[in-house]
Amino acid sequence: MNNRVKELRKGKGLTQEDLAEIIGVSRQTVNAIEKQKFDPSLNTAFKMAKLFELPIESIFLSED
Amino acid sequence: MKKERKKKITQLALWTWTWVATLALATFGPEFIWAADSPLTLISIVVNFINGALMIWANRNLYNHYDELERKIHLEAMAFTLGVAVIVGLTYSLLDQKNIIETDAEIGFLVGIIGITYGVAMGINTKRYS
């Protein structure tokens, strides 16, 4: 699944480590999500949506 | 999160090392420290078993602390290791039963295979998601 996590994180001036700490996952997980090697759980997606103040579908983009 | 992780890893390391130590004691104690028919033999085996249960509990605690990607990596490695252990274990046992191999099948061989497979699967999976 495509996503805008890297762009949004940088827009907020956060490092991967910062974002990981805020949403309660490891830095490796943030890295894997940004590289689109791993799709996060709904819970993590909601935490990102809250942090970036955007709806989930604006962050995670369907490939269809 | 990091502090909690460190605590759980320390707990697992502690129970793993004491399990190895009590296993060595239960294995070599009757041979070198006390008489084989001594009650200490059974006591050392029971202590080792309880220690093993605590090691499993510590491992479960650490697993529950992992995040979603770490769980996926470990779960895939465990699934692969389980499959390899069953297939290799049964093949090894058959080779022994049919006298195709000269030595008796040893459980230590299977434990070694499990350890190596899990380590390799973890390495590959970690690289896949990094």
Dist. CA A2–CA A33, nearest whole Å:
9
Tokens of A43: 């819970």
Lowest-confidence segment of A29-38, A43-52, B95-104 by average pLDDT: B95-104
| ipTM, interface predicted TM-score of the complex | 0.85
Q: Does B127 touch chain A (CB under 8 A)?
A: no
pTM confidence score:
0.83
Dist. CA A39–CA A2, nearest whole Å:
9
Residue ranges of domains in chain A? 2-52
Q: Does A44 touch chain B (CB under 8 A)?
A: yes
Dist. CA A11–CA A13, nearest whole Å:
5
Dist. CA B126–CA B130, nearest whole Å:
6
Residue A24 in contact with residue B67, Cβ under 8 Å?
yes
pLDDT attached to residue B2: 77
Tokens of B22: 């009590």
Q: List chain A residues with CB under 8 Å of B69.
A: 25-26, 28-29, 32, 38
Dist. CA B112–CA B105, nearest whole Å:
13
Tell me the average pLDDT across B27-54: 93
Q: Which of B68, B70, B129 is facing A37, going by the closest CB pair? A: B129
Using CA atoms, how far residue B50 sits from A5, B15, B36, B96, in Å, is 46, 10, 21, 31
- Collapsing DSSP to helix, strand or coil, A3 comes out as strand
How does residue A64 score in pLDDT terms, banded at 50, 70 and 90? low
**Mean residue pLDDT across chain B:** 94
Dist. CA A8–CA A34, nearest whole Å:
10
pLDDT attached to residue A35: 94
Q: List chain B residues with CB under 8 Å of A39.
A: none
Domain A2-52 CATH class label: mainly alpha
Q: Please, what is the Cα angle at B48 between B45 and B51, to 5 degrees? A: 155
